[in-house]
Amino acid sequence: MEPVERLYLDALMEEAAVPERSLRPQLLAGARARRRPAAPTAAWAEPYAGRVAAMDALLASAVDDDWAREIVEGWTLQELVAHLAAKDGLLAASVGAPVLGPALDALDAMGRTLQVQEYERARSPEQTRRDWRAQADALCRHLGGLTPDTPATLDGVAGAVSDHVLARGLETWIHTDDAASVAGVRLPHPVPAHIRPTADLCARLLPWTMMLSGVDGAGRTLHLILTGPGGGEWTMPLGVHDTAPGTPDVSITTDVIDFCFLLGGRAEPESYPAEITGDHALAADILRTAPALSGP
């Protein structure tokens, strides 16, 4: 059993962390039997596979009230899981992996989400859980035969498949946290070996989030220090066409988990906790625009 799965199972089995209204203790033993390990995949896709296994461990303990409860975007837990399956299926289609569920009539994320949600509403929550997991596992198995630089496109964004898979892992992580928070369950974060590449993706996205928000970072340089397990340091240009960093204009020090959740749209940029030296106005622009790529 990989460490991340053990952590999630242990958290679920702590009855003190389980509210009476949800994830009932008497069902947790059954959840242990129903959970499945991460699907075999390429080493560079393991952060995504680990998040899938973690979400599945949480879903294994859900009861009727949990599935019907609104989690985020006005979606119930069942609709949220269908959304994850929809986006995983779009990435699968881009790289030639099996696409499960209804026929692929929509190639944009929201269109496909609405299609899969409609399909899953006629099914039981457990069937939706199995459909999502089958799609994720099919993608994981296919990724095992690809190189990380294989081109892929998701929702009109072209890039290396490894970056798209890290983005899928980040979204699955965030939505697992969304569901756990609504259920009143505190779950541990991914292992550091999975956090580091996810944080690296988030750091590399900053020039793009600035550009998409109408902020020109060309010729400016950021020194980013992410603290905690899985963190690190990046000195990076802030222009999307810049080829090399210069002398840093600003330094931002913050927690690596907080940073990933900021990019994922789960933090308020105006009150975001960070230590800043240098150009404070530039730092404010970086933090304000960081969630630009987050969405349902």
* Whether 213 and 115 share a structural domain: no
The CATH number of residue 83's host domain is 1.20.120.450
Look at residues 161, 190, 219 and tell me which one is the last residue of a structural domain. 190
* Whether 10 and 155 share a structural domain: yes
* Whether 126 and 167 share a structural domain: yes
Question: pTM for the full model?
Answer: 0.89
Instruction: Report the distance separating Cα 110 and Cα 108, nearest Å.
Output: 6
User: C-alpha distances in angstroms, 1 versus 13, 68, 90, 187?
Assistant: 16, 31, 29, 17
Model pLDDT for residues 146-176, shown as the tens digit of each residue? 999 999 999 999 999 999 999 999 999 999 9
Task: Please compute the mean of the pLDDT values over residues 180-187 and round it to a whole number.
Answer: 90
- Examine the pLDDT at 71 and tell me if it is beyond 60: yes
- Examine the pLDDT at 270 and tell me if it is beyond 70: yes
* Whether 165 and 212 share a structural domain: no
* Whether 46 and 145 share a structural domain: yes
Query: In which domain, by residue range, is 209 found?
Result: 196-293
| pLDDT category of residue 34 using cuts at 50, 70 and 90 | low
Look at residues 145, 163, 190 and tell me which one is the last residue of a structural domain. 190
* Whether 207 and 145 share a structural domain: no
Instruction: Report the distance separating Cα 288 and Cα 74, nearest Å.
Output: 24
Query: Parallel, antiparallel, or unpaired: how do β-strands 250-255 and 221-227 relate?
Result: parallel
Taking a C-beta distance cutoff of 8 angstroms, is the pair 59, 81 a contact?
Answer: yes
Q: How many CB atoms neighbour CB 258 within 10 A?
A: 16
- Examine the pLDDT at 35 and tell me if it is beyond 80: no
- Examine the pLDDT at 27 and tell me if it is beyond 60: no
